[in-house]
Each structure stands twice: as C-alpha cells, then as structure tokens.
C-alpha cells in the first residue's frame, strides 16, 4: 500500500474520507488557531490528559501528525470539516496497537470537537467514517475506545456507532497529578454499527407531598453535603445502596452508568430547597430494563415520616409503567424485596398497590432471631 513507502508526501498521502455531510482531511497550518481554541475549552480540558496549549504547541503537534502519516507504519490523524466548509471542526485519531505488515489488527480511537461543532452529530459521522476505513483499508479486527469515567458526550458517540461498553477500569490514566478511572469499549469488524443498549432518558419529576413539593432529579456532586449516616439495621438494605460520604462520586458514577447502559434510573429526591433527602430507583439486575424491573428507595433519617418515599415511589412507578412512546420505560411488571421486620417499607409497598407473592424463610439470622425476606410485585394492568 502506498502509505508504507511514504513516496507521496504529506498531506497528499492522507486518504480523505467523506459522507454526505462530513469530510475527514489532512491537518494544515490554517487549523492551528482553532485547534488552540478547542484545546483551551473547559469541556475539552476536563476530559483530556494535556493542559492549555499554545500556537507553538499546536505547530509541534502538526509535525507529529505529519511524521505519523509518513511513517512506515502510519499513525492516522484526521481533521474534521464539512463538505461545504473547510473550517477546522475537530480531530479524530487512530492509535495503533501494533502493525502486522500492512495490517492493523487493533487500534484505539480518540476524538475531540471544537465547541462550535458540538451537538450537530458530526463526530458520530466522523467516527463511522474512521471505523469503516480502519476495518477496510487497514484490515482491522477490533477498534477500541476509552474515555474518562463520566464522559457522557464521548460515550454517546461511541454507543451510536455500535461500540460495546466492557468495564470501568479504576485509576487508569493520569490527568495532571490525579489518576482517573476509564470507561473502555470496543467494536469488532463484523458487529452492527448501531446502539447495542438503550440510553434511558432521565426526566425530572415534580411531586407534591403533605409537607411540600419535592423534585426527583439527577444526582449532583454537591449532594455529598446532604448525606447522613444510616441508622437502620443492615439487613434492611445493602450498605452499598446507601450513598457513602467517602465514596460518593464513585457511587454517583455507578448510577450514571446504569442510565447510559439502560439498566436503571436512580432519582435523587430533593426538597423545596433543592437539598437531597434520599433516592428512588427503578432498575434491572440482568441487563437493560425490558419487560420487568425492580423498585427500590431510601430516605435519610431526617426526612422520614413525611410521606416522601411513598410520593416519590408513586412517581417512579408511573414512569416505569408509562409507554415508551410517551417517554416511560414500558415496564409490564415491577418487583420489590423487603425484610419481614421492615414495617415502614412494607407499608409503603402496600400503599403503592404491590402484592406479596413469595416469602424466603430465615434469610438473615440476627441476635434477636431469624428474619424472612418478602417478595412483592405489581402489574401495570392492576394499577
């Protein structure tokens, strides 16, 4: 293949890739100022390992791009623009794992957009073009993707192109002096290039209670300030389900992962002052939510006895049973589990219309004696 001999100089050796909207081309000196703007954007800086860049830095990077293309084993990097406008909009990179002759069996893709280009679907188009080129021209077998944990924008692009999320790898990549967790995913040569898991919409829901309105909303990093120590028996609820002060951000990221992989929604229950009081969740233990799901809830000790749980759970149940066309989850059956001595939770489920359908005997053995586990369910048709 021609690029291995480097007989054609940069930028002419760079294969242009295009669809009916996007064009991937070689970088040029006219891109430098916008590349500096992109690198200095707050959203970019939050998700990259490098800091603020200057024109000189980008000029040096442009040399790295040229050398990568002219290498015997190329390191492909494209600038992103549109068919009708050559203005630089971003960069997409294939980082080779190892070349085998003229084949590149595996590579990792990374990408970044100028702030003006975001929200237009351009990066999804660019990734599809680069992926097709990798699997075709380079005889690629698997294209990998990695991003800092919590980078929803990058995952939204990869997911749209058919990548499968594999894991969260703790403390993988150094950003400044901090080790960040990474999300990792990949796409195989013969896999479909359409989303493999749903991305659950996350509606905010206002709920009226006898003690005033509450809001079901997403969790925020600042909610850590509202957390309270649990004061109930451990067998009522796994301690991993209680928002922990010391590991709250990890706990919050796990709930985000449930949403973007379609396995659950976890609303923060906030009072009229927007202070967190607890949560309500609809989730699946075995992959994306489908025909049925499980209901869970928890409120901090200071918020109990106000009907908050019942009101929030009623809203979550309504959303779960709502049709997909109307923005709901389309669930047919909800289940829940409680311990027999958790009278408050049992009253809540009874109020919601749940029915006991099973009982596991002596699931926990306490100093006061054994405790049974009760299974509950509610069908959409019975509401």
* Residue 1 pLDDT level (bands cut at 50, 70, 90): very low
| Mean pLDDT confidence for 62-74 | 95
Instruction: Show the DSSP H helices in the chain as ranges.
Output: 32-40, 42-47, 55-70, 122-136, 152-160, 248-260, 308-321, 343-352
Q: State the Cα–Cα distance between residues 279 and 272, nearest whole angstrom.
A: 15
* Residue 18 pLDDT level (bands cut at 50, 70, 90): very high
* Residue 356 pLDDT level (bands cut at 50, 70, 90): very high
User: In percent, how much of the chain has pLDDT > 90?
Assistant: 86
* Residue 41 pLDDT level (bands cut at 50, 70, 90): very high
pLDDT in tens, 245-292: 999 999 999 999 999 999 999 999 999 999 999 999 999 998 999 999
Termini Cα distance of the chain: 65
- Residue 49 pLDDT more than 90? no
Tokens describing residue 301 = 């000790």
pLDDT for position 376: 98
Specify which of 3-7, 185-189, 243-247 reaches the highest per-range mean pLDDT: 185-189
* Residue 211 pLDDT level (bands cut at 50, 70, 90): confident
* Residue 223 pLDDT level (bands cut at 50, 70, 90): very high
pLDDT for position 3: 47
Q: What average pLDDT is seen over the chain?
A: 94
- Residue 28 pLDDT more than 90? yes
Beta-carbon contacts of 201 under 8 Å, excluding residues fewer than 6 positions away, are 327
pLDDT in tens, 80-136: 999 999 999 999 999 999 999 999 999 999 999 999 999 999 999 999 999 999 999
pLDDT for position 2: 41
* Residue 383 pLDDT level (bands cut at 50, 70, 90): confident
Which residues in 345-361 are b (16+ Cβ under 10 Å) and which e?
Answer: bbebbeebebeeeeeee
Beta-carbon contacts of 247 under 8 Å, excluding residues fewer than 6 positions away, are none
More confident residue, 231 or 69: 69
DSSP state of 342: -
Q: State the Cα–Cα distance between residues 313 and 318, nearest whole angstrom.
A: 9
Q: What is the DSSP string of 92-123?
A: EEEEES--BTTB--EEEEEEEE-GGGTTSSHH
Q: State the Cα–Cα distance between residues 95 and 109, nearest whole angstrom.
A: 6
């Amino acid at each position: 293949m021609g690029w291995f001999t480097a007989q054609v100089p940069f930028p002419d050796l760079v294969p242009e890739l295009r669809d009916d909207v996007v064009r991937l081309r070689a970088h040029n000196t006219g891109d430098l100022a916008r590349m500096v703007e992109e690198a200095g954007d707050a959203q970019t800086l939050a998700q990259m390992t490098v800091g603020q860049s200057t024109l000189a830095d980008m000029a040096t990077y442009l040399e790295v791009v040229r050398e990568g293309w002219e290498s015997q084993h190329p390191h492909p990097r494209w600038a992103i623009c549109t068919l009708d406008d050559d203005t630089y909009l971003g960069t997409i990179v294939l980082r080779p794992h190892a070349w085998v002759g003229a084949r590149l069996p595996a590579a990792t893709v990374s990408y970044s957009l100028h702030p003006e280009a975001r929200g237009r679907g351009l990066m999804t188009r660019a990734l599809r073009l680069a992926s097709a080129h990798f699997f075709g021209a380079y005889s690629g077998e698997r294209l990998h993707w990695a991003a800092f944990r919590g980078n929803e924008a990058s995952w939204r692009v990869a997911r749209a192109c058919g990548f499968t999320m594999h894991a969260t790898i703790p403390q993988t990549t150094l950003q400044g002096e901090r080790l960040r967790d990474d999300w990792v995913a990949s796409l195989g040569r013969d896999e479909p290039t359409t989303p493999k898991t749903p991305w659950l919409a996350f509606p905010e829901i206002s709920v009226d209670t006898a003690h005033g309105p509450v809001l079901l909303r997403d969790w925020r990093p600042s909610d850590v300030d509202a957390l309270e120590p649990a004061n109930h028996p451990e067998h009522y609820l796994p301690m991993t389900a209680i928002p922990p002060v010391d590991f709250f951000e990890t706990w919050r990221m796990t709930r985000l992962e449930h949403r973007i992989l379609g396995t659950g929604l976890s609303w923060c229950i906030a009072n009229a002052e927007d202070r967190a009081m607890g949560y309500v969740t609809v989730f699946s233990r075995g992959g994306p939510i489908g025909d049925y799901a499980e209901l869970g809830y928890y409120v901090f000790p200071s918020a109990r006895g106000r009907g908050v749980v019942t009101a929030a759970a009623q809203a979550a149940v309504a959303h779960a049973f709502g049709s997909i066309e109307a923005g709901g989850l389309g669930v047919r059956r909800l289940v829940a589990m409680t311990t027999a001595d958790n009278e408050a939770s049992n009253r809540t489920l009874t109020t919601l219309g749940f029915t006991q359908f099973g009982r596991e005997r002596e699931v926990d053995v306490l100093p006061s004696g054994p405790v049974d586990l009760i299974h509950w369910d509610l069908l959409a048709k019975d509401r």
